[in-house]
């Protein structure tokens, strides 16, 4: 016997076990196969052979237990304490999902009248309850979208779980059917798009009654119900003279004073459901054919949501004053608890262990969520589906700025990539050739070229990744960069060979033309790689991955990447102009001026950003060298290590091709404030921004960005000026004007020179907390500040303040 002192569950040995007949009384379904006096249960004939019986061993066990020493176990050879620790503990509420909650099963819940149909014999109450159920379902659905399982949210409703029960109640029945159909549509979109990797609970439908084909009819039924309620509404509004016409029509409920309000409240909820499902169905049509129609439905949805919100006033009239707080938290518009919901009903389905209890979004928050979702979907529907890669990439980046949720991102991805083609329509070869103004309509056999096939796959991956959420996206982008660069190197070698062969014999053949195209695509590929790298760096700002002490290296890297990207894009403009001019000469081909202008504008924008990044690099480096800004040297890792941590993936993809850190430290170590290029860079950026602004006059999003860039440049010029005059100013970098380009913010130093004198005073001085702490140590970084605050237990208090450390 091995002694195992570790696993001792502090439970008393239950004295005597109940007599055999007690067991049979407790569970009569187990037939006692009695032999002599002992109980032998024959519940499992499979496991119990002909000659064997179930022997009662409780007394033996308790005898053995009392003989065992403290900490001893009885176990076999294959026992592994570590594995045994993972055993699910029965009757532990956090581990045992089979523990009996309110109901044994859905059937029992139904039998006990937990979810009656109709909900009440009083028709007014019935309608009221249905509205509550509708509201609660909306909150459930929004919670589901935020990444919880269906079983705990929408399918916690018995009416949704068992739609056939409600068939006598047209309103409830059709509504639940439509809810189920909506869930199905969304599950299929999200699982097709596979953007759900990061929120994998979304598509889990195991064990849920999810295959009802009748759900498709839900919309028809709902339409009929809507029609009836419309008539009821008209009837109650009609004057007495007209009333006769409607006399045969039964009112919605019994209280004539409330009739209008209830009709309206129901109608807007029903219509929202209807249009939402229609919009989803339209968006799923191949090649984006239903987008226009979807847009109309989305507009209806948004309007109906507004009326849903305004119906609160009427609905919450009767509810007793619950206090404002409770109303805010409530999952229904009226503030009442809905009937027929139990989140524990499905808990045995999800896993051996019970899922964590979740908090549903409140009804108000659910509506806010839907408004955001609908706006995001609208943004997708408004996209013009141009077969132009630059436009697609810029659209996706713009779309991601509002941090759209899973459902919207899945829809975008499905729209962009269908059947391995852009919008299910254009192959990536044509897209790519189009962005170079090349003609690939004549079949050069290019679409079978292995590089083109690979490129196709890379592009599909890229687009899919761009539709993921930002943290996921950044990680994946870093990883695919390597694939891209390997591909780039391979293609470079092959294309180099091909071009050599082309240049020697001067006979234009089909093969030569495809070699030329491949050569252009090779150049274009490098541009894309740099674009991905830039996106990778910029996402770091969105995710707040860089600390202020690292801004210098980040901007240096951005400068390198931007510079290269601008150069490549400029080459492309030259190629386009060249080929199109030639075509124009040959066959009176009208030049695509608009696109050419757009690309050159983009190149200018890139150049403007390049100068800004360069300016910021030099400026921060100068400040650092003159000791006015802390060096990025923490106690744990050197600057070089930090550099590798941030840009390791880029360096692996050989962007740039030389040793980046060495070049970074060389180029920044001599920077001084009175060094001229600082001004030059910012001035250049400012000048370019002014030019670009004219070009983007009718694109508000772009214009806002360019204005931001201009302001950054302007403010930084002033900052550099001031710093040159007064070296005692304190500098910090904030993202006031642009999310990725920092603006230098100056503060008078006299404040904290005085701080030293008053440091014993308990009250916090009327400046920022950061400075209060900084007053002790002049070269502290914000990280040090936080550390110091934590050490003195003030961090939690400070982080709750509106401006945190500022």
Partner 1 sequence: MEQIDAGGSTTVAASTSEDSSLDPIARVRKLLFRQMLVGIKDGRFFLGSFHCIDKQGNIILQDTVEYRSIRRSSPSPTEQRCLGMILIPASCRTSCHVDCSIEEQLSLIQLKE
Residue ranges in 60-119 that form contacts with partner 1 under rule CB under 8 A: 60-65, 67-77, 79, 83-84, 86-91, 98-100, 104-105, 107-108, 111
Kindly state whether residue 34 participates in binding partner 1, applying the rule CB under 8 A.
no
Please say which residue, 58 or 322, places its beta carbon nearer to partner 1.
Answer: 58
Q: Where does this chain touch partner 1 (CB under 8 A) — which range of 31-39, 148-156, 184-192, 634-642?
A: 31-39
Closest CA to 620 of 712, 517, 731, 522: 731
Compute the least distance from the CB of residue 25 to partner 1, in Å: 10
Which residues inside 116-155 make contact with partner 1, applying CB under 8 A? none
Please say which residue, 90 or 320, places its beta carbon nearer to partner 1.
Answer: 90
Which residues inside 36-65 make contact with partner 1, applying CB under 8 A? 36-41, 43-44, 47-48, 51-65
Are 396 and 412 in contact, with CB atoms under 8 Å apart?
yes
Closest CA to 195 of 410, 397, 419: 410
Are 482 and 649 in contact, with CB atoms under 8 Å apart?
yes
The string of DSSP letters for 252-321 reads SSS-TTTHHHHHHHHHHHHHHHHHHHHHHHHHTSGGGTTHHHHHHHHHHHHHHHHHHHHTHHHHTTSS--
Closest CA to 711 of 685, 746, 692, 748: 685
* 3-class SS of residue 417: strand
Q: Which of 11, 448, 574, 791 binds partner 1 (CB under 8 A)?
A: 11
Please say which residue, 63 or 736, places its beta carbon nearer to partner 1.
Answer: 63
- 36-54 burial by CB neighbour count: b if 16+ within 10 A, else e? eeebbbeeeeeeeeeeeeb
Please say which residue, 59 or 471, places its beta carbon nearer to partner 1.
Answer: 59
Residue 86 burial (CB count, 10 A): 7
Q: Where does this chain touch partner 1 (CB under 8 A) — which range of 17-25, 421-429, 609-617, 679-687?
A: 17-25
Give 562's contacts (C-beta < 8 A, 6+ positions apart): 534, 606, 609, 610, 613
Compute the least distance from the CB of residue 26 to partner 1, in Å: 6
Compute the least distance from the CB of residue 149 to partner 1, in Å: 17
Kindly state whether residue 9 participates in binding partner 1, applying the rule CB under 8 A.
yes
DSSP state of 336: P
Q: Residue 23 and residue 44: Cα distance in Å, rounded?
A: 15
Compute the least distance from the CB of residue 58 to partner 1, in Å: 5
Q: Which of 16, 26, 45, 384 binds partner 1 (CB under 8 A)?
A: 26
Compute the least distance from the CB of residue 344 to partner 1, in Å: 14
Kindly state whether residue 597 participates in binding partner 1, applying the rule CB under 8 A.
no
Q: Where does this chain touch partner 1 (CB under 8 A) — which range of 6-14, 605-613, 742-750, 759-767?
A: 6-14
Q: C-alpha 399: how far from its chain's center?
A: 12
Which element (helix H / strand E) includes 730? strand 730-734
Compute the least distance from the CB of residue 173 to partner 1, in Å: 25
Kindly state whether residue 17 participates in binding partner 1, applying the rule CB under 8 A.
yes
Which residues inside 456-515 make contact with partner 1, applying CB under 8 A? none
Please say which residue, 24 or 394, places its beta carbon nearer to partner 1.
Answer: 24
Which element (helix H / strand E) includes 722? helix 700-725
Compute the least distance from the CB of residue 158 to partner 1, in Å: 15
Compute the least distance from the CB of residue 259 to partner 1, in Å: 41
Kindly state whether residue 206 participates in binding partner 1, applying the rule CB under 8 A.
no
Between β-strands 743-747 and 417-418, what pairing exists: parallel, antiparallel or unpaired? unpaired
Kindly state whether residue 748 participates in binding partner 1, applying the rule CB under 8 A.
no
Kindly state whether residue 28 participates in binding partner 1, applying the rule CB under 8 A.
yes
Please say which residue, 350 or 775, places its beta carbon nearer to partner 1.
Answer: 350
* 3-class SS of residue 247: coil
Please say which residue, 107 or 326, places its beta carbon nearer to partner 1.
Answer: 107
Compute the least distance from the CB of residue 102 to partner 1, in Å: 11
Which residues inside 153-192 make contact with partner 1, applying CB under 8 A? none
Please say which residue, 12 or 168, places its beta carbon nearer to partner 1.
Answer: 12
**What is the token pair recorded at 672?**
């001084």
Measured in Å, how far apart are the chain's first and last C-alpha atoms? 65
Q: Residue 214 and residue 211: Cα distance in Å, rounded?
A: 9
Helices (H), 588-672: 593-625, 639-652, 660-669
Q: Where does this chain touch partner 1 (CB under 8 A) — which range of 34-42, 308-316, 472-480, 490-498?
A: 34-42
Please say which residue, 151 or 298, places its beta carbon nearer to partner 1.
Answer: 151
* 3-class SS of residue 517: helix
Closest CA to 131 of 274, 316, 257: 316
Residue 674 burial (CB count, 10 A): 11
Compute the least distance from the CB of residue 52 to partner 1, in Å: 5
Compute the least distance from the CB of residue 350 to partner 1, in Å: 12
Q: Where does this chain touch partner 1 (CB under 8 A) — which range of 5-13, 284-292, 365-373, 690-698?
A: 5-13
Q: Where does this chain touch partner 1 (CB under 8 A) — which range of 3-11, 225-233, 429-437, 455-463?
A: 3-11
Please say which residue, 10 or 320, places its beta carbon nearer to partner 1.
Answer: 10
The count of residues interacting with partner 1 (CB under 8 A) is 77
Residue 94 burial (CB count, 10 A): 12
Which element (helix H / strand E) includes 224? helix 218-237
Which residues inside 332-361 make contact with partner 1, applying CB under 8 A? 348, 352
Compute the least distance from the CB of residue 110 to partner 1, in Å: 11
* 3-class SS of residue 31: coil
Between β-strands 743-747 and 730-734, what pairing exists: parallel, antiparallel or unpaired? antiparallel
Q: Residue 28 and residue 43: Cα distance in Å, rounded?
A: 10
Please say which residue, 86 or 507, places its beta carbon nearer to partner 1.
Answer: 86
CA atoms within a 13 Å half-sphere pointing along the CA-CB vector of 474: 15
Compute the least distance from the CB of residue 65 to partner 1, in Å: 5
**What is the token pair recorded at 184?**
């199905």
Compute the least distance from the CB of residue 71 to partner 1, in Å: 7
Please say which residue, 16 or 324, places its beta carbon nearer to partner 1.
Answer: 16
Are 232 and 176 in contact, with CB atoms under 8 Å apart?
no
Compute the least distance from the CB of residue 191 to partner 1, in Å: 25
């Amino acid at each position: 016997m091995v002694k195992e002192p570790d696993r001792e569950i502090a439970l008393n040995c239950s004295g005597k076990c109940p007599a055999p007949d007690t067991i049979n009384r407790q569970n009569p379904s187990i037939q006692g196969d009695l032999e002599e006096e002992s109980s032998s249960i024959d519940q499992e004939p499979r496991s119990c052979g002909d000659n064997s019986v179930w022997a009662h061993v409780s007394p033996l066990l308790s005898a053995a237990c009392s003989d065992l020493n403290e900490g001893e176990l009885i176990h076999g050879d294959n026992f592994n304490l570590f594995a045994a620790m993972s055993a699910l503990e029965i009757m532990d509420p956090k581990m045992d999902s089979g523990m009996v909650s309110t109901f044994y099963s859905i059937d029992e819940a139904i039998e006990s009248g937990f979810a009656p149909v109709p909900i009440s014999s009083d028709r007014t109450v019935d309608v009221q309850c249905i509205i509550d159920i509708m509201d609660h379902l909306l909150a459930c659905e929004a919670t589901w979208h935020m990444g919880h399982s269906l079983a705990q949210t929408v399918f916690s409703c018995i009416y949704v779980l068992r739609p056939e029960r409600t068939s006598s109640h047209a309103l409830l029945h059709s509504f639940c059917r439509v809810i189920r159909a909506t869930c199905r549509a969304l599950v299929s979109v999200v699982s097709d798009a596979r953007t759900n990797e990061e929120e994998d609970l979304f598509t889990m439908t195991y064990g849920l009654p999810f295959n009802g084909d009748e759900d498709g009819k839900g919309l028809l039924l709902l339409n009929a119900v809507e029609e009836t309620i419309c008539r009821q509404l008209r009837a109650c509004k009609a004057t007495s003279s007209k009333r006769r016409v409607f006399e045969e029509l039964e009112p919605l409920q019994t209280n004539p004073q409330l009739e209008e309000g209830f009709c309206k409240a129901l109608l807007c909820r029903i219509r929202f459901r209807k249009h939402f499902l229609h919009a989803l169905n339209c968006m799923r049509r191949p090649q984006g054919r239903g987008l226009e129609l979807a847009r109309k439905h989305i507009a209806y949805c948004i309007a109906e949501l507004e009326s849903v919100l305004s119906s609160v006033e009427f609905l919450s009239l009767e509810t007793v004053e619950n206090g404002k707080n409770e109303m805010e938290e409530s999952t229904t518009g009226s503030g009442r608890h809905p009937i027929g919901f139990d989140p524990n009903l499905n808990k045995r389905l999800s896993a051996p262990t019970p899922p964590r209890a979740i908090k549903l979004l409140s009804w108000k928050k659910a509506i806010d969520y839907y408004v955001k979702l609908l706006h995001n979907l609208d943004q997708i529907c408004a996209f013009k589906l141009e077969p132009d890669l630059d436009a697609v990439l810029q659209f996706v980046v713009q779309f991601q700025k509002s941090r759209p949720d899973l459902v919207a991102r899945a829809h975008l991805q499905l729209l962009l990539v269908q059947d391995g083609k852009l919008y299910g329509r254009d192959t990536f070869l044509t897209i790519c050739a189009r962005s170079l103004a090349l003609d690939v309509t004549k079949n050069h056999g290019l679409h079978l070229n292995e590089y083109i096939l690979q490129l196709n796959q890379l592009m599909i991956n890229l687009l899919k990744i761009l539709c993921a959420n930002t943290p996921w996206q950044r990680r994946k982008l870093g990883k695919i960069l390597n694939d891209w660069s390997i591909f780039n190197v391979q293609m470079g070698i092959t294309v180099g060979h091909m071009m050599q062969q082309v240049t020697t014999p001067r006979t234009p053949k089909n093969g030569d033309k495809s070699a030329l195209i491949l050569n252009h695509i090779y150049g274009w590929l490098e541009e894309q790689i740099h674009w991905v790298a830039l996106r990778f760096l910029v996402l770091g700002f969105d995710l707040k991955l860089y600390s202020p002490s690292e801004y210098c290296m980040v901007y240096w890297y951005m400068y390198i990447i931007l510079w290269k990207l601008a150069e490549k894009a400029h080459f492309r403009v030259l190629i386009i102009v060249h080929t199109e001019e030639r075509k124009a000469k040959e066959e009176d081909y009208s030049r695509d001026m608009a696109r050419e202008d757009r690309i050159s504008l983009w190149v200018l924008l890139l150049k403007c950003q390049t100068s800004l990044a360069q300016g910021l690099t030099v400026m921060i480096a100068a400040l650092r060298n003159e000791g006015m800004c802390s060096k990025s040297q923490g106690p744990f890792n050197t600057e070089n290590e930090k550099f590798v941590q941030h840009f390791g993936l880029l360096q692996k993809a050989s962007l740039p091709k030389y040793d980046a850190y060495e070049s970074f430290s060389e180029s920044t170590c001599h920077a001084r404030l009175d060094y001229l290029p600082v001004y030059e860079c910012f001035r250049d950026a400012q000048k370019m921004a002014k030019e670009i602004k004219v070009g983007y006059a009718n694109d508000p999003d772009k214009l806002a960005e360019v204005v931001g860039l201009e302001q950054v440049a302007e403010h930084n010029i002033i900052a550099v000026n001031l710093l040159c005059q007064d070296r005692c100013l304190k500098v910090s970098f904030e993202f006031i004007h642009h999310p990725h380009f920092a603006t230098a913010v100056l503060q008078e130093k006299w404040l904290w020179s005085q701080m030293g004198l008053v440091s014993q005073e308990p009250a916090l001085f009327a400046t920022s907390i950061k400075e209060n702490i900084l007053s002790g140590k002049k070269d502290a970084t914000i990280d040090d500040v936080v550390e110091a605050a934590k050490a003195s237990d003030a961090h939690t208090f400070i982080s709750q303040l509106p401006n945190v450390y500022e």
